[in-house]
């Protein structure tokens, strides 16, 4: 059952679930890629937006499929410990749209362990797609998975990227101002607790191929994505200009 969370409960739960360092905790270790960990883009006092917990099922089958997907697509070697190999230090936030009308339909699409109805990417593995957060058309934010859990949502970046899905998209269900507001608040809050360097739209993911963040064994496994739209990304970025968060590399 979906349940509302008070701000105090949410902050405590997120620090426990997402591994955010407390005053007594050491800083996070550098990721295995050797990339340095930057300082958070925001002060840790950023207030959490109101979030509703609606976790996706995550059992042995999804974990097994996640490991299989990573073995097929990551260039870095796995450890053999599934619990460790399916977790990450997030460095990127990727904004998406669902191309569907409701949060319920999006959650249902993501809930199964096995991919269905996606001929464009089915050849790259049976693991279903997913997201860490889902933003409804009225700005309601649902948390679907812990921020350090690896999910399939962006080619080449799944091992370092938090995915935020926005309900709707395109001409039929244009994204809303409430969703812009919610994405800005959510990005700021995540960046206050995680070593995020980049915020991009799904349509921009290939721009990071020139960076050490991108890992994909198969040079033919690429897609062309329109989401969440250039106008939406411009609206979000216009309200993040006071941060150090980067977008696509120039050129």
- Region 132-153: mean pLDDT is 98
In a domain, 223, yes or no: yes
Give a yes or no: residue 196 inside a domain: yes
Per residue in 45-71, pLDDT (tens digit) is 789 999 999 999 999 999 999 999 999
Is the pLDDT at 21 greater than 60? The verdict is no
The predicted model gives 143-171 an average pLDDT of 98
From first CA to last CA, the distance across the chain in angstroms is 46
Evaluate the omega torsion of the peptide bond into residue 228 and state whether it is cis, within 30 degrees of 0: yes
Q: Is the pLDDT at 120 greater than 60, yes or no?
A: yes
From 151, 250, 150, 159, select the one nearest 212 (Cα to Cα): 159
**Considering the domain boundaries, does residue 75 fall inside one?**
yes
In a domain, 121, yes or no: yes
User: CATH code at 190?
Assistant: 3.40.80.10
Q: Per-residue confidence at 250, pLDDT binned at 50, 70, 90?
A: confident
Residue 10 domain-assigned (yes or no): no
Within-domain flag for 168: yes
Q: In percent, how much of the chain has pLDDT > 70?
A: 82
**C-alpha angle 134/140/143, rounded to 5°?**
40
Number of domains in the chain: 1
Confidence of residue 42 (pLDDT cuts 50, 70, 90): very low
Whether the pLDDT of residue 202 is over 90: the answer is yes
Would you tell me how many other CB atoms lie within 10 Å of the CB of residue 212?
11
Closest alpha carbon to 67 in 183, 174, 152:
152
User: Over 60: is that where the pLDDT of 179 sits?
Assistant: yes
Decide: 139 and 49 in contact? Cβ < 8 Å: no
Tell me the mean pLDDT in the region 8-27.
38
* Residue 8 predicted with pLDDT over 50: no
pLDDT grade, residue 122 (50/70/90)? very high
- How many residues belong to the chain? 251
Residue 77 has pLDDT above 90, yes or no: yes
Is 138 within a domain?
yes
Distance CA 121, CA 136 (A): 25
Residue 29 pLDDT level (bands cut at 50, 70, 90): very low
The pLDDT score that the predictor gives to residue 181 is: 98
Q: What is the pTM of this model?
A: 0.83
Confidence at 3, pLDDT banded by 50, 70, 90: very low
The pLDDT score that the predictor gives to residue 56 is 98
* Residue, of 26 and 223, whose pLDDT is higher: 223
State the pLDDT confidence band at 177, using cuts at 50, 70 and 90: very high
pLDDT confidence tier of residue 117, bands split at 50, 70 and 90: confident
Assigned domain for 27 exists: no
Q: What is the pLDDT of residue 182?
A: 98
Nearest Cα to Cα of residue 18 among 158, 195, 246 = 195
Residues 146-157: tens digit of each pLDDT? 999 999 999 999
Q: Which domain does 58 fall in, by range? A: 50-238
């Amino acid at each position: 059952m979906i349940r509302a969370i008070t701000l105090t409960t949410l902050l405590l739960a997120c620090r426990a679930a997402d591994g955010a360092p407390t005053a007594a905790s050491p800083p996070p270790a550098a990721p295995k890629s050797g990339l340095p960990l930057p300082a958070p883009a925001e002060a840790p006092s950023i207030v959490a937006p109101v979030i509703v917990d609606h976790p996706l099922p995550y059992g042995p089958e999804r974990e097994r499929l996640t490991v299989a997907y990573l073995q097929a697509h990551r260039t870095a070697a796995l450890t053999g410990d599934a619990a460790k190999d399916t977790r990450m230090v997030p460095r990127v936030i990727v904004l998406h749209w669902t191309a569907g009308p409701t949060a319920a339909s999006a959650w249902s699409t993501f809930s199964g362990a096995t991919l269905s109805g996606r001929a464009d990417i089915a050849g790259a593995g049976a693991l279903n797609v997913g997201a860490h957060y889902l933003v409804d058309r009225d700005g309601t934010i649902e948390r679907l998975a812990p921020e350090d859990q690896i999910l399939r949502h962006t080619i080449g970046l799944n091992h370092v990227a938090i995915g935020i899905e926005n309900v709707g998209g395109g001409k039929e269900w244009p994204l809303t101002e409430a969703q812009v507001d919610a994405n800005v608040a959510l990005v700021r809050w995540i960046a206050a607790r995680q070593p995020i360097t980049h915020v991009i739209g799904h349509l921009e993911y290939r721009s990071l191929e020139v960076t050490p963040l991108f890992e994909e064994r198969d040079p033919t496994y690429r897609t062309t994505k329109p989401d969440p739209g250039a106008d939406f990304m411009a609206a979000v970025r216009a309200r993040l200009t006071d941060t150090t968060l980067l977008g696509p590399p120039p050129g």
